[in-house]
Amino acid sequence: MSESMSASMSASSYKPYEGLRVLDLSQGIAGPYCAEILLQNGAEVIKVEAPAGDWGRAIGYAPDGMSAMAIAFNLGKRSISIDGAREEGRKLMRRLAAQADVIIESFRPGVMERLGLSYAELAREQPDLVYVSVTAFGPDGPYADRPGSDSTLQALTGMMVANRDGRGDPRKVGVLLVDVSTGVYAAQATGAALYRRALQGKGAHVQVSLLDAAAAVQSNGIVDSVLGQGRAAQPLSVPVGTFATMDGYINVTSLHDRMFAGICRAIGKSEWASDPRFATVEARFAHAEEINAALEQIFRTQPSAHWLRALDENNAVCGQVNDYQEFLADPHVRQQGIFQAVAQPGLPELPVARVPGAPRDAASRPAPRVGEHTREVLAGLGLGQSEIEELIAAQVVLACARI
């Protein structure tokens, strides 16, 4: 690639999936976020929903079906609402599938076969199709037919125990980590399948589960638990933790001896760096209670801004503990453009995090309401206006008026 061509494909304009057609049949978070990642990198995504809509539309505060989940993971998609229980509806879904490069579904094993939309059936006519199945527990095995959620997988995979509270009770991670990470892994696997298609002209059936993702994001902790079998769990380093200050909280981490020395200088305890009790990682583990108790007293004597400045000047890893509003207002976060402002009709302007690595000028079009683009999508299939209105009247499809 020439230097001039490389320069023209800047991070702000190059959309690697431009022209890619994605049919999103999934619901909730993992499948829709996979599709959203493809969209933010240039793909066109049609979201197919039942008349009742994606179940994620009813989670939390949801005016007119526009919950946070429905918005954050569906920006810029076009929504068509089809009754898949009707044969006419299934025929429309198959026609849409025939136009897609990528299909994403998140049903339990067997559902797509009953709809006539399984990978085996579609791949006979579309051998280059990339077909993505997102499930809770995988395509087979004792749990294959079980329903599963982010919370279920946090419980099953040890995540709640890893996040246990001070009393040792299992505790759920407060964000939907398993669902979101599954979407990321699914998008990565989809990209790999598309690369293979580009080289060999062959499609693939990509299968990713919440179980896969929950295991992968905890790989380090799981390996560490096996290495330390029979020994009491110890912190990753000392000091590491969240400490109260005069006006809030900060998180401080010592990654190695030099960083520990920097923390000592920042808090006015330079003598600690040469104290034999604290000279090595192992020695600090042995005296963790003493170190942390002293830090708790010291950090309370000054506001967070003082300690963040002092620790930063001494190259120590630290950060202010923010709530979401403080995070959004952080000057570095604002300068980096981490969030895109989305003008969702009928709602205040909303900050939605950009897909990391996606073009900076990726569309920030609002998320659709159920069936918002039904007429438009059906017209794209070649149906005339009278045919479309007949399908709407027969309730095979649902079309809502745009706001």
Among 329, 351, 371, where does a domain finish? 329
Q: Is residue 295 part of a domain?
A: yes
Q: Is residue 10 part of a domain?
A: no
The rounded Cα 239 to chain-centroid distance in angstroms is 30
**pLDDT at residue 338 in the model:** 94
Burial of residue 294, with CB atoms counted within 10 A of its CB: 0-12 exposed, 13-18 middle, 19 or more buried: middle
**CA pair distance 280, 355, nearest whole angstrom:** 40
Half-sphere exposure of 224 (CA within 13 A, CB side): 11
Domain membership of residue 362 as a residue range? 16-219+343-398
**pLDDT at residue 402 in the model:** 67
Same domain, 179 and 214: yes
Same domain, 74 and 121: yes
Q: Is residue 109 part of a domain?
A: yes
Same domain, 118 and 210: yes
pTM (2 decimals)? 0.91
Same domain, 387 and 349: yes
Q: Is residue 138 part of a domain?
A: yes
**pLDDT at residue 5 in the model:** 45
Question: Please, which residues bridge with residue 39 across strands?
Answer: none
Same domain, 154 and 183: yes
How does DSSP assign 330-391, residue by residue? -HHHHHHT-EEEE--TTS--EEEEPPTTS-TT---PPPPPTTTTHHHHHHHTT--HHHHHHH
Name the token pair of 327.
């995070």
**CA pair distance 283, 342, nearest whole angstrom:** 51
Among 303, 329, 355, where does a domain finish? 329
Same domain, 23 and 144: yes
Same domain, 354 and 325: no
Q: What CATH code is carried by the domain that includes residue 312?
A: 3.30.1540.10
Q: Is residue 287 part of a domain?
A: yes
Query: In b/e form, how buried is each residue of 10-39, taking b as 16+ CB within 10 angstroms?
Result: eeeeebebeebebbbbbbbbbbbbbbbbbb
The rounded Cα 275 to chain-centroid distance in angstroms is 45
**pLDDT at residue 363 in the model:** 64
Same domain, 246 and 356: no
CB 224 within 8 A of CB 158: no
**pLDDT at residue 7 in the model:** 45
Q: Is residue 375 part of a domain?
A: yes
Q: Is residue 305 part of a domain?
A: yes
Same domain, 108 and 203: yes
**pLDDT at residue 1 in the model:** 45
Q: What CATH code is carried by the domain that includes residue 374?
A: 3.40.50.10540
Q: Is residue 4 part of a domain?
A: no
**CA pair distance 81, 391, nearest whole angstrom:** 11
pLDDT (tens place) for every residue of the chain, 403 residues total: 445 444 444 445 789 999 999 999 999 999 999 999 999 999 999 999 999 999 999 999 999 999 999 999 999 999 999 999 999 999 999 999 999 999 999 999 899 999 999 999 999 999 999 999 999 999 999 999 999 999 999 999 999 999 998 898 999 999 999 999 999 999 999 999 999 999 999 999 999 999 999 999 999 999 989 988 866 666 678 898 999 999 999 999 998 899 999 999 999 999 999 999 998 888 998 999 999 999 999 999 999 999 999 999 999 999 999 999 999 999 999 999 999 999 999 999 999 999 999 998 776 789 999 999 999 999 999 999 999 999 999 999 999 876 6
Same domain, 266 and 144: no
CB 102 within 8 A of CB 192: no
**pLDDT at residue 229 in the model:** 83
**pLDDT at residue 361 in the model:** 78
Among 273, 300, 329, where does a domain finish? 329
Same domain, 215 and 266: no
User: What is the number of structural domains in the chain?
Assistant: 2
Same domain, 289 and 152: no
